[in-house]
Amino acid sequence: MSGTVLRHIHYMPEGVVFMAKNILEMRNITKEFPGVRALDQVNFQVQEGEIHGLVGENGAGKSTLIKILGGVHSYGKYSGDIVLGEQIQKFSGISASEKQGISIIYQELALIPEMSVYENIFLGHEIERNGIVNWNETRIRAIDMLKKVKLDVHPNTKIVDLGVGKQQLIEIAKALSKEVKLLILDEPTAALNNDDSENLLQLLKELKLHGVTCILISHKLKEVISVADTVTVLRDGKTVHTMKKELSEINERDIIKHMVGREIEDVFPKRSNKNFGEVQLEVKNWTAFDKKLGRNVVQDVDFNVRSGEIVGIAGLMGAGRTEFAHSIFGNFKGYQLSGDIQIQGEKVNMKSPRNAIKNGLAYVSEDRKGNGLILETDVKQNITLANLKQISSAKIINKNEEIKVAEKFRKSLRIKTPSIEQKVKNLSGGNQQKVAIAKWLFSEPNILILDEPTRGIDVGAKQEIYTIMNNLVSQGLCVIMISSELPEVLGMSDRVYVMAEGKMIGQLPIGEATQEKIMSMATV
Amino acid sequence: MSSISNKIDKIIPKSIKENIRDYGMYIALAVIILIFNYLTQGLFLTPRVISDLFNMTGYIAVLAVGMTLIIVIRHIDLSVGFIAGFLGALAAILSSRFGLPIWLIIPIVMSAGAIIGMGNGFIVANLGVPAFVVTLAGMLVFRGALIRITKSQTIFTGNDAFNAIGNGYIPDIANIDGVHLLTIIFGIIGIVLFTYFEARNRQKQLAYSLKVSTMPLFIAKILFVSTVIMYFVWKLASFRGLSWTVLIVALVVGIYHFITKHTTLGRHIYAVGGNPEAAELSGISVKFTTHIVFASMTMLAALSGILFTARLQSASPTAGTLFELDAIAAAYVGGVSASGGVGKVTGSIIGALVMASLTKGMDLMVVGVSYQYMIKGLILVAAVVFDVRTRNMKSKRI
Ligand SMILES: Nc1ncnc2c1ncn2[C@@H]1O[C@H](COP(=O)(O)OP(=O)(O)OP(=O)(O)O)[C@@H](O)[C@H]1O
Ligand SMILES: [Mg+2]
């Protein structure tokens, strides 16, 4: 057994000799799932006190690597060694890993929505004596933790009542309350808007000053570059490259090149001939009242989209964009509606998503796990679910046709899965998103609503999705794209609407839209 | 620890391990039958006992089929026991007092069942009352209704054709040496159909260049299943042949198996169970699906009631007591998942057979009723533990 001391000496550019100790070393890690080798002899080193960016395409193995580190895939289910503080670790489970000061914030948030902030922060490691929880102490400590993450909410607030950005900070507070030494975040900013992301990154830098080492997984390369001291690139389950800030090696171009194995010239592919036709969907005076919240989530919205057009809807988190989409897509949440909705100039009354689909609408949800996909079923059944009619006669499903359809989408969207019989829950996050998009493309919509279509998706796949969008509109479809990524909105849309507090603040032709203009409209 | 699991990996081929949940129930049933057969010195596997085993499972089996789908969509139905009792009594009255023929009684009573079920489904799906509460209320209501309709007395059906459904056997074309020929013919038809569909399926999978089992393995499977079918058919044939009950249950299972596997409705049911929100957004009406599943449940409860009444040749004011719990147990033993979206109707039938085999076997061994209940309770927990464990194994390792 090799328990050697691992010390590397780096010469700083200034010539200062600096002893950097590896807090973590993962050696020759291999992990196989049936049909996939998710990790193949991965070597990965993290130095004490640094922020380490871990990047790679969807399905490259990032989440798997940290799940091994976190004891989710316990000792014996992978090969290779985890060396932590000079000792080989054999984690039997999550708690064994936590005991060593490792805390992971997973891609899927793990908070209990109906519980309060303080209960959540200490969930699983309650402050107790003889099994009796000391709630006063808990509340006081929770307030401390909230201060540390600079979050100004009352500890009694329920998680459901917080936005995603704040929930993310609660996750970090939870990690901090466990005396974390190594904090790992798997795509923490995927669902956050610019301000919240900025906030979170700032927090990471501060934690670094307090000696917390941090591994950051993200598809937002700019963020990684802005905070990371070291960046490791994974590709197809192998470590392909490591870059150091102190050697000025970190830049976006190189990261992308190593991630995808080729250079990507233009993330936003250009459309050659723009050809706008008739107005396909028109909404007037549209108001949606949420009975549960007791207020209008959408108010007096006028909106339209023409065939051949990509319309972007920008705005901050909570601006009512998703609610607007829900309300026009068959009013799935049961709002009280008023106003007119017309499809191809005809007034329609879409009472259910079923009805909306019949009218040619499709909605790719922002929340693919919550209400986009059936995780327990396989890829092919998910793809065909919204249009079973197409592959069945007399209500009887033609399974062969189903396989054909699913294979077609697997190829055209390059969904990375060992087979179309794989359960969707076993796919990487980005590939799940592709399945969700495939599902709606198969319903052959006339108006496609994409809600945060590239959340958690790697650059290469992003470009593929943009290309698909371009192809669709050049066939005369309309695309409505809700997005919090301003570069994406600016890069892809023909027209931009800006929403804030449930209202359409205004619209900008793409020629006049800039980040600054949109932001100033969004923050009225 | 890992070396052990590595060894297990080597011994058990992957395909079997992946399907352990599917095969597990069949293996458990076989083991239970063999153990009882050994303990009763071969009494268990005699034609009379086998025939009786199948017949006594009938009315719970049809309930278990309906309950499977209810649990798949994350609900529960506690009312079906007394609904079966009530509708069984209704059938007995239609037969004895109004003299209706059985072929008319069955559709009338089953329609009545479906309508009651729609009521349940409506309250659950449209008014948002938890199914547990709605059907608990239904249980009370129909318990009362049963006492009312029977006036606290046993009602005899007074009709041989009616009673035949629960006790009778299909007629024979020719009886050779005490062996029921038509039963044998049905058995052979069953095997031919099974082989045909399996082969066709394999052909298709090959045409789509999917993974299939090797030819010898495939033939071995066909031979094995055929032998098992033929064995039981032979047992039935050398008693009095196929009973109407078994025929009806087979028909119900066949239809439900087809619906769940091959139709859009079946797909919708599993989608609703797997993730109701995603299903709704995919254009599936969760309400409609819930109505259908509840209606189907009580429709089958009606059938169950008829079978039970026919079996006892009468309706009693306590008929149906605890049927619902037997059906729920059968479904769980048969591998339905409480978290929704997972479970097969064929599994639940095997579950029902497992529970019935336990009862039958322990009766033959003259085990006291008190022990029987305790043992069955333990078996139920064990089955679900097995289910949960294998599921975890799957998600961790695969
Ligand atoms: N439980 C599982 N069963 C089967 N395959 C799995 C499982 N978990 C992950 N995989 C596979 O392992 C590979 C790596 O997945 P992983 O989730 O680590 O990717 P990732 O780099 O985190 O991607 P993303 O950026 O999309 O989140 C993928 O091909 C995925 O399909
Ligand atoms: Mg991931």
Q: What is the pLDDT of residues B249-305, one digit of tens each?
A: 999 999 999 999 888 899 899 989 988 888 887 888 899 999 999 999 999 999 999
Would you place residue A334 in the very low, low, confident or very high pLDDT band (cuts 50, 70, 90)? Answer: confident
Question: Are the Cβ atoms of A372 and B278 closer than 8 angstroms?
Answer: yes
B2, B282, B395: residue with CB nearest A76: B2
- Tell me the pairing of strands A17-33 and A7-11: antiparallel
Please check the confidence at residue A8 and state whether its pLDDT lies above 60. Answer: no
Q: What is the mean pLDDT of residues B299-316?
A: 96
Alpha helices in B73-101 (DSSP H): 80-96
Per-residue pLDDT, A81? 93
Q: Which atom of ligand 1 lies at the shortest distance from residue A64's CA?
A: 18
For residues B177 and A198, the model is more confident at: A198
CA of A63 to the centre of ligand 2 (A): 4
| Residue A508: its H or E element | strand A503-509
Query: Considering chain B, what is the average pLDDT of its residues?
Result: 88
In a mutagenesis test of the B interface, which of A359, A371, A423, A440 is the best target, namely the one with the most B β-carbons within 10 Å? A371
Residue from A378, A413, A414, A428 whose mutation best tests the ligand 1 pocket (most atoms within 8 A of CB): A428
Question: Are the Cβ atoms of B264 and A397 closer than 8 angstroms?
Answer: yes
User: Under CATH, which number does the domain A277-360+446-524 receive?
Assistant: 3.40.50.300
ipTM tops the 0.90 cut: no
Q: What is the mean pLDDT of residues B13-38?
A: 75
For residues A148 and B301, the model is more confident at: B301
Question: Helix, strand, coil % (nearest 5) of chain B?
Answer: 75, 5, 20
Per-residue pLDDT, B209? 66
Phi, psi dihedral angles at A126 (to 5 degrees): -60, 150
Residue range A1-101+185-193+213-260 in CATH 3.40.50.300? yes
Identify the DSSP state of B244: H
For residues B316 and A457, the model is more confident at: B316
Residue A273, chain B, CB below 8 Å: the answer is no
Q: Measure the CA–CA gap between A236 and A285, rounded to whole angstroms.
A: 50
Phi, psi dihedral angles at B171 (to 5 degrees): -65, 165
> Which residues 474-503 on chain A approach chain B with CB closer than 8 angstroms?
none
Per-residue pLDDT, B305? 96
Per-residue pLDDT, B213? 75
Would you place residue A14 in the very low, low, confident or very high pLDDT band (cuts 50, 70, 90)? Answer: very low
Protein residue with least CA distance to atom 24, ligand 1: A58
Per-residue pLDDT, B359? 92
Chain B residues with CB-CB distance to A353 below 8 A:
280-283
Q: Measure the CA–CA gap between B315 and B384, rounded to whole angstroms.
A: 34
DSSP-derived secondary structure for B270-300: HHHHH-HHHHHHTT--HHHHHHHHHHHHHHH
Ranges for all domains in chain A classified under CATH 3.40.50.300 = 1-101+185-193+213-260, 277-360+446-524
Please check the confidence at residue B20 and state whether its pLDDT lies above 90. Answer: no
The three-class DSSP label of residue A217 is strand
Tell me the per-residue pLDDT of B176-233, one tens digit each, with 9 for 90 and over: 778 888 999 999 999 999 999 888 888 877 776 666 778 888 888 889 989 999 999 9
The three-class DSSP label of residue A191 is coil
For residues B135 and A179, the model is more confident at: B135
Ligand positioned closest to the Cα atom of A259: 1
The most confident of the ranges A87-96, B165-174, B309-318 is B309-318
A381, A403, A443: residue with CB nearest B267: A381
Q: Which atom of ligand 1 lies at the shortest distance from residue A431's CA?
A: 26
CA of B5 to the centre of ligand 2 (A): 27
Please check the confidence at residue A333 and state whether its pLDDT lies above 90. Answer: no
CB of residue B398 inside a 6 A radius of ligand 1: yes
Residue A318 CB coordination number (10 Å): 16
**What tokens does A44 get?**
């990965």
The residue length of chain A stands at 524
The three-class DSSP label of residue B231 is helix
Residue A377, chain B, CB below 8 Å: the answer is yes
CA of A186 to the centre of ligand 2 (A): 7
Separation in Å, CA of B24 to nearest CA in chain A: 20
Domain ranges of chain B: 12-168+243-394, 176-242
For residues A241 and B205, the model is more confident at: A241
Please check the confidence at residue A49 and state whether its pLDDT lies above 70. Answer: yes
Contact A25, A44 (CB under 8 A): yes
Q: Measure the CA–CA gap between A356 and A346, rounded to whole angstroms.
A: 14
Helix B102-125 and helix B286-312, axial crossing angle in degrees, nearest 10: 140
Would you place residue A455 in the very low, low, confident or very high pLDDT band (cuts 50, 70, 90)? Answer: confident
Residue A337's contacts (CB-CB under 8 Å, 6 or more residues apart) are A286, A287, A288, A289, A327, A331
Please check the confidence at residue B82 and state whether its pLDDT lies above 50. Answer: yes
Chain B residues with CB-CB distance to A389 below 8 A:
264
CB of residue A157 inside a 6 A radius of ligand 1: no
Please check the confidence at residue B395 and state whether its pLDDT lies above 50. Answer: no
Per-residue pLDDT, A131? 72
Tell me the per-residue pLDDT of A412-428, one tens digit each, with 9 for 90 and over: 888 889 889 999 988 88
Phi, psi dihedral angles at B137 (to 5 degrees): -60, -45
Per-residue pLDDT, B391? 61
Separation in Å, CA of B139 to nearest CA in chain A: 32
Q: What is the mean pLDDT of residues B63-90?
A: 96
B265 to chain A: closest CA residue: A395
Q: Measure the CA–CA gap between A256 and A264, rounded to whole angstroms.
A: 7
**What tokens does A331 get?**
């009013």
Cross-strand bridge partners of residue A478? A447
Would you place residue A407 in the very low, low, confident or very high pLDDT band (cuts 50, 70, 90)? Answer: very high
Pick from A34-48, A103-117, A323-337, A401-415: least confident: A103-117
**What tokens does B395 get?**
């998600």
Question: Are the Cβ atoms of A377 and B283 closer than 8 angstroms?
Answer: no
Q: Measure the CA–CA gap between B68 and B52, rounded to whole angstroms.
A: 24
10 Å CB burial of residue B203 (0-12, 13-18, 19+) is exposed
CB of residue A63 inside a 6 A radius of ligand 1: yes
The three-class DSSP label of residue B107 is helix
Q: What is the mean pLDDT of residues B100-123?
A: 96
Per-residue pLDDT, B211? 67
Please check the confidence at residue A91 and state whether its pLDDT lies above 50. Answer: yes
Q: Measure the CA–CA gap between B342 and B270, rounded to whole angstroms.
A: 7
Contact A481, A472 (CB under 8 A): no
Per-residue pLDDT, B130? 95
Identify the DSSP state of B159: -
CA distances from A315 to A30, A282, A285, A500 (A): 43, 20, 19, 6
Chain B residues with CB-CB distance to A354 below 8 A:
283-285
Q: Measure the CA–CA gap between A317 and A291, rounded to whole angstroms.
A: 21
Please check the confidence at residue B397 and state whether its pLDDT lies above 60. Answer: no
Chain A residues with CB-CB distance to B397 below 8 A:
77
Residue B9's contacts (CB-CB under 8 Å, 6 or more residues apart) are B17
For residues A220 and B205, the model is more confident at: A220
Tell me the per-residue pLDDT of A59-70, one tens digit each, with 9 for 90 and over: 899 999 999 998
Per-residue pLDDT, B178? 80
Residue A207 CB coordination number (10 Å): 20
User: Under CATH, which number does the domain B12-168+243-394 receive?
Assistant: 1.10.3470
